Amino acid sequence: MRKPRVSQALINSIQNSRRKVMLMDPKKIERINELARKKKIEGLTGPEKVEQAELRQEYIEGYRRSVRHHIEGIKVVDEEGNDVTPEKLKQVQREKGLHGRSLDNPES
């Protein structure tokens, strides 16, 4: 049995949507960058280190949410058109009602 391939269209879709998704307020991203520059040049004060850590954590959490959302929306289909989505992913999709999957129909 051949492994399913990820289509280039799917890859492009993920890349394009990543550009559109705002993980956090652009002002906060700019602040992360300001603190990074300051850290390299002169160092950060204690409160600035705490702020930097909090902002970075917020950014990482947003990025993880975005990736999880994309993965949960993927439906894997082989060359013959058969749904070969992993069962664990199908279960998440059933819980969220994605791709016509439903908890009421375990075969979906």
Question: For the chain, what are the domain ranges?
Answer: 20-72, 76-108
SS3 (DSSP) at 108: coil
Overall average pLDDT of the 43-53 stretch: 97
pTM: 0.63
- Alpha carbon distance 75, 90 (integer Å): 8
Residues in the chain: 108
Could you report the per-residue pLDDT of 71-89, keeping only the tens digit for each? 888 889 999 989 899 999 9
When pLDDT is cut at 50, 70 and 90, the band that residue 97 belongs to is: confident
Of all helices (H) and strands (E), which one includes residue 22? Answer: none
State the architecture of 20-72 in CATH terms: Orthogonal Bundle (1.10)
